[in-house]
Amino acid sequence: MKYRVCKVFEVESGHMLSKHPGRCRFAHGHSRRIEVVVSSETLDANDMVCDFKALKLAVHAIADRLDHAMALNSADPRKSHFEGGRVVLFDGQDPTTEVIAKHLYDELAALVRAGGEFQAEGVTYRLPISLQVERIRVGETSSTWAEYGQ
């Protein structure tokens, strides 16, 4: 059996889906709800899977790039219209909710493997290397989400 914890984040972001045949090919935005589920077979010395503060700091370091930014396919010929603003490019992929979920998953998993450390208010918070990133669920609207994980 595993212990699991979840932390939820919210960001406002825009994107354009250059491969989409309908309206989604135009610039538009979403209030995204990001659910991060991590687990461990055991609890740490503080009887936790992971300190929620450590998880918050780790995910904020990743998700903040998307907040109030425009996500674009690096191959989109219209990307020059957004130069000078907050732009996140996805290499050869449309920034669909599925692609964003996998991107967040991969980034967080890399931080865990590296034993990520974060400072806040004079305290060092660490991601345990035994931590498992189970899934990242990204909501696009109140009725739709995409998930990537184990």
Q: Look up tokens 């964003």; give the residue.
A: 100
Q: Tell me the pLDDT tens digit for each residue of 3-57.
A: 999 999 999 999 999 999 999 999 999 999 999 999 999 999 999 999 999 999 9
Domains and CATH numbers, the chain: 3-149 (3.30.479.10)
Q: Tell me the pLDDT tens digit for each residue of 95-150.
A: 999 999 999 999 999 999 999 899 999 999 999 988 999 999 999 999 999 999 98
Residues 6+ apart with CB under 8 A from 111: 58, 61, 62, 127
Mean pLDDT rounded to a whole number for the chain: 95
Q: Do 136 and 109 contact (CB within 8 A), yes or no?
A: no
Q: Look up tokens 């050869």; give the residue.
A: 92
CA dihedral 10, 12, 17, 23 (to 10 degrees): 110
